[in-house]
Amino acid sequence: MHITALAGGIGGARFLRGLLHHLRSLPSQTPAANARVTVIGNTADDVTLHGLRVCPDLDTVMYTLGGGIHEEQGWGRAAETFTVAEELTAHGAQPQWFTLGDRDLATHILRTRMLGAGMTLSGVTAALCERWQPGVELLPMSDDRVETHVVIDDPDAEGGRRAIHFQEWWVRLHAAVPARQILAVGIEQAKPAPGVIEAIQTADVVLLPPSNPVVSIGTILGVPGIREAMRTTSAPVVGISPIVRGAPVRGMADACLSAIGVSTTAAAVAGLYADFLDGWLVADGDDKDEHPEGVTVRARPLLMGDVPAAAAIAADAVDLAATLRR
87 binds a second copy per the rule CB under 8 A: yes
Separation of alpha carbons 135 and 185, rounded Å: 31
What is the per-residue burial (b if ≥16 Cβ within 10 Å, else e) of 271-293?
Answer: bbbeebbbbbbbbeebbeeebbe
Neighbour tally for 86: CB within 10 Å: 12
Q: What stretches of the chain show up as alpha helix (H) in DSSP?
A: 10-25, 56-66, 83-90, 102-116, 121-132, 166-167, 196-201, 217-222, 226-232, 253-259, 266-272, 307-323
Task: Tell me how far, at minimum, the Cβ of 93 lies from a second copy, in Å.
Answer: 6
Residue placing its CB nearer to a second copy in the complex, 62 or 184: 62
Separation of alpha carbons 234 and 22, rounded Å: 24
**Total of chain residues touching a second copy, rule CB under 8 A:** 25
Choose, by CB under 8 A, the member of 26, 33, 78, 84 that binds a second copy. Answer: 84
Choose, by CB under 8 A, the member of 51, 118, 294, 305 that binds a second copy. Answer: 51
Which one of 102-110, 142-150, 166-174, 190-198 is the stretch in contact with a second copy (CB under 8 A)?
A: 102-110
88 binds a second copy per the rule CB under 8 A: yes
121 binds a second copy per the rule CB under 8 A: no
Strand-pair category, 47-49 with 147-153: unpaired
Choose, by CB under 8 A, the member of 91, 155, 293, 305 that binds a second copy. Answer: 91
124 binds a second copy per the rule CB under 8 A: no
Choose, by CB under 8 A, the member of 93, 157, 274, 303 that binds a second copy. Answer: 93
Which one of 8-16, 76-84, 134-142, 150-158 is the stretch in contact with a second copy (CB under 8 A)?
A: 76-84
